[in-house]
Structures are given as C-alpha cells and as structure tokens.
Amino acid sequence: MMKIAVIGSNMIDLVSYITRMPTKGETLEAPDFKMGCGGKGANQAIAASRLGADVLMLTRVGNDIFADNTIANFQANGISTDYVLRTNASSGVAPIFVDPLSHNSIIIVKGANSYLSASDIQSAAEDIKKCQLIVLQLEIPTETVYAAVQFGKEHNIPVLLNPAPAQPDLILDKVKSCEFIVPNETELSLLTGMPVETEDEIRNAAMTLRDAGVKNVIVTMGQRGVLWLSEKTQQYFPPLNVNAKDTTGAGDAFIGCFASMYCKSKDIAHSIEIANHYAADSVTRLGTQTSYLNKEDFLQQYP
C-alpha cells in the first residue's frame, strides 16, 4: 500500500454563526455553533486516507479535550496515531465567526503545533523512511519544515510542500529541493515576490520557482483551474463547472488527493486531473473534512 508521511498541523475549528460582528466590549448572542476537525496537515492526511493511502501523521496535540477529539478523528479515518504527540500546551484551535453573508473572521491559535520540532522528525525517522512521499504545509515552525525537506533529500523521499498559509519569511533556497511545490496564487506571489493577477503573470512566477530548481510547480487557482510546470512540460487543467457552496479546505482536498493518486500511479498529469475533480466536488458541500468523499463514493462520481 502506498504510504505517505504528513508532517504538519491539526486544529479544532470552533465556528460561531453570528448575526453581526460584536463591537469592542460587547457580548452578543449567536444563533448557532459547530465544532469541526481541521488544520491543513490533518485535512490533507484525511483526504489522502479516505482515498486509500496509508498515512503516517506526525503532529502535536495539546493536553486537553480538543486533543482527544483530534486523536479520535484520526482513528475514525484509519490514520495511525503513533506519532500524534501530546504536548503540555493547548491544542491548536481556530475560533471562526461566520456572518449571514458567509463572510469569515478567523483567529488561529497554533498551540501545540508550534512545538513540532526537527527532533520529532528524528523520533519518527524509521517509519518516515518507509514512505513514498512527505507532505508539508506551513502551520508548523519553519525550521521544522526545513528539517523535513532536508530529511526527504537525505533519504531520497520526494517532498511535496504546500506553502500555506502564505509565510513571508519562508526562504526559497531551503525548500527548492522539493519535488513538488503546490501554492495558490497568493502563496505563489509571496514566495516569488512577483505579481499574479493575469495568467501570464502566474506562469512567469511559476517559471521562477521552477528555474530555482523546484522540479514541479503546481499552482491551484480556485475557479480558474490548475497550472503545472515541470522541466519538460507546461500543462493547464481547466476548472470543473460546479455549484460551489463552500470552498474552505479545497486546497487541502486537492493536495490530499494528489498525494494519494501520485503515490499509486507516479503519473503527475493524471493525479492532477483527479485531484482537480476531487477538490471541485468538495466545494459543492459545506465544511472542510466533512466535504471530502471516501474512495467508493468518489469512484461513483468519477469512475
């Protein structure tokens, strides 16, 4: 079975549905509340696992009920929790406020995610070495991301970096050995310092990353589709025409699916095409992980 190591974050989303933003000092009643599992690392791991990958999740949770919830969620999704490490801190949480027009205000408390370290990678080294792909995002300390990229290089394991959320102090030189960098337009712009308004500008910025040494640059462009640039090819994948209801977590759906498909087939174009479908399908339903189909249901829609 293809094995993927996701080294990244987990969060608990605490979503209050509000009628309006409270003003300073005001106490406001909200009509509804939902709690959900999230965090970019966890989302990508769950998507990959639902599509049949064997996922090793290296992450840190706190010492609280949110941690118990996150661990139970990994287990329910068939992900081993051997490397879901307890930390004497709060779990990562994201209080989110959604108004009637679906505008979001989000606060991220990284909590235990801030403690995921290079030595945690070493403690899981023997099992990470058995993986065919390492998947990274930027909700953990940047030094840990660099250490994971280096680990992949030393052990000849391809690394996929999703440089999200956009991080101004990420040093391109330290991540250019990645086999895949998968940014959205905003992240691409921050990584290259280049404009990304037009398709030409996006292509030029992606070329800059590729020319810096990144083997494959895959730019997800929301409802504008996906662009893939490698040494040899340049390919555009048009968006699917869907009735979008909630695009949160679409990027994570794309990456989890791509990782799973790539490990199985090693066919990049084919994996992008399927991930484009999987992510488009996820935006037709509300929520993040709740919008990710499992393999059987996805195969019914996309045989």
Closer to ligand ADP by Cβ: residue 172 or 221:
221
Nearest distance in Å: CB 178, ligand ADP: 17
- Annotated catalytic residue within 13, 54, 120, 252: 252
Q: Which residue is nearest to ligand ADP (CB)?
A: 251
State how far the Cα of 17 lies from the Cα of 246, in Å rounded to an integer: 15
Nearest distance in Å: CB 164, ligand ADP: 6
Contact residues for ligand ADP, defined by CB under 6 A: 164, 184, 220-223, 226, 239-240, 242, 244, 247, 250-251, 254, 276, 279-280, 283
Place of tokens 């406001």: 28
Closer to ligand ADP by Cβ: residue 245 or 266:
245
State how far the Cα of 249 lies from the Cα of 279, in Å rounded to an integer: 8
Q: Largest Cα–Cα distance in the chain?
A: 58
Closer to ligand ADP by Cβ: residue 194 or 240:
240
State how far the Cα of 41 lies from the Cα of 28, in Å rounded to an integer: 33
Nearest distance in Å: CB 242, ligand ADP: 5
State how far the Cα of 84 lies from the Cα of 73, in Å rounded to an integer: 12
Structure tokens at 257: 């699916």
State how far the Cα of 46 lies from the Cα of 195, in Å rounded to an integer: 33
The torsion angle over the Cα atoms of residues 76, 77, 83 and 87, rounded to 10 degrees, is -60
- The answer to whether the Cα torsion of 17, 286, 196, 148 is positive or negative is positive
Nearest distance in Å: CB 289, ligand ADP: 14
Enclosing H/E stretch for 98: strand 93-98
Closer to ligand ADP by Cβ: residue 19 or 223:
223
CA separation, residue 219 to residues 187, 267, 300, 302 (Å): 9, 17, 27, 22
Pick from 228, 208, 225, 226: nearest CA to 217: 228
Nearest distance in Å: CB 15, ligand ADP: 17
State how far the Cα of 19 lies from the Cα of 167, in Å rounded to an integer: 32
Closer to ligand ADP by Cβ: residue 79 or 182:
182
The torsion angle over the Cα atoms of residues 290, 292, 294 and 299, rounded to 10 degrees, is 140
Kindly tell me the burial class for residue 260, based on how many C-beta atoms sit within 10 Å of its own C-beta (0-12, 13-18, 19 or more).
Answer: buried
Nearest distance in Å: CB 271, ligand ADP: 12
Closer to ligand ADP by Cβ: residue 148 or 219:
219
Residues 6+ apart with CB under 8 A from 200: none
Q: Is 173 a catalytic residue?
A: no
Give the catalytic positions in this structure.
Answer: 252
